[in-house]
Amino acid sequence: MSDQKTPKISVVIPAYNEVKKIRRCLTALQKQSIRDPYEIIVVDNGSSDDTAPVARKFGVTVLEEKTRGVACARQRGFQAARGDIIASTDADTIVPPDWLQTIQNAMADPKRVGVMGTFLFYDRGKIWNGLTKIITPAIRFIDWIVGHGQNHFIGMNFAVRKEAFRKSAGFNTNLKYGEDIDLAKKMKKYGRIAYIKKMRVLTHSRRYQLNLAFAKYVVNFIKTDITGKPFRNELPKIEGKKEEKIRKNETHSDAR
């Protein structure tokens, strides 16, 4: 990684109370095999923990976005990006050493304005990940049909050409959910979005627990994919018990 030269690729990571997970994310990003310069941008979305101070210790760029919502955080980071290619991942995600090189190679095709990959879970075993390998291609095929021959982005693992991103006006910051799908729908006007099988990352499974929150997540995904609007435009609740307690205490303090 080098911030001394103009970066070829910018990596944007939105983060809200991710102090326990962001270290592994940033460590992986700083060990990329790509030889061209790249930059890492962490956008702190109003964290009440030490997410921002920990990120600064890695020597990366840390921006503040006080308006809550991942769309606002991503937009802040993408607007500040200096690279011609902007890659997106999440603070609870670990990318492989060749992730940026794979993205750069895939974006060498001038007809492509974006690329996206897939994921497995680093906190789950062989059975869970085995099922994921079966289920995700089926979901991607449905998404491909709905997208008229093109897939949509997943926030933890995609990249775009900055020029096309700016033409599209970027993320819809009014959306609390599905901002990545919405962006892909707009960017398809300017070129192709390709699925790259080799672009596989490891992420945490907290968004995919078999509970009511996950059911809402699936319904929102389907609704956004088909109509461009989520079923319920609200922030997804994916924090753990400790983070939820912090959030409730903050709410009570504001009320006073």
The pLDDT confidence band at residue 143, using thresholds 50, 70 and 90, is low
Q: Is 195 helix (H, G, I), strand (E, B) or coil?
A: strand
Strand order in the sheet with 112-121: 61-64, 38-44, 9-15, 85-88, 158-161, 112-121, 192-203, 93-94
Mean pLDDT of 107-135: 88
pLDDT value, residue 171: 96
**Residues contacting 197, CB < 8 A, separation 6+:** 117, 118
The pLDDT confidence band at residue 129, using thresholds 50, 70 and 90, is confident
pLDDT value, residue 152: 81
pLDDT value, residue 251: 34
Mean pLDDT of 234-252: 43
Mean pLDDT of 84-104: 98
121 or 31: whose pLDDT is higher?
A: 31
CA–CA distance, 157 with 151 (Å, rounded to integer): 13
Fold of 9-204: Spore Coat Polysaccharide Biosynthesis Protein SpsA; Chain A (3.90.550)
The helix (run of H) or strand (run of E) holding residue 178 is: none
Mean pLDDT of 83-103: 98
- The mean predicted confidence, pLDDT, of the chain is 84
Mean pLDDT of 146-175: 88
172 has pLDDT over 60: yes
pLDDT value, residue 239: 44
108 has pLDDT over 50: yes
Q: State the helix-helix crossing angle for 212-227 and 179-187, rounded to 10 degrees.
A: 20
pLDDT value, residue 205: 82
pLDDT value, residue 133: 80
Q: What are the helix (H) ranges across the chain?
A: 22-29, 51-57, 70-80, 99-106, 126-146, 162-167, 179-187, 212-227, 241-255
pTM of the model: 0.81
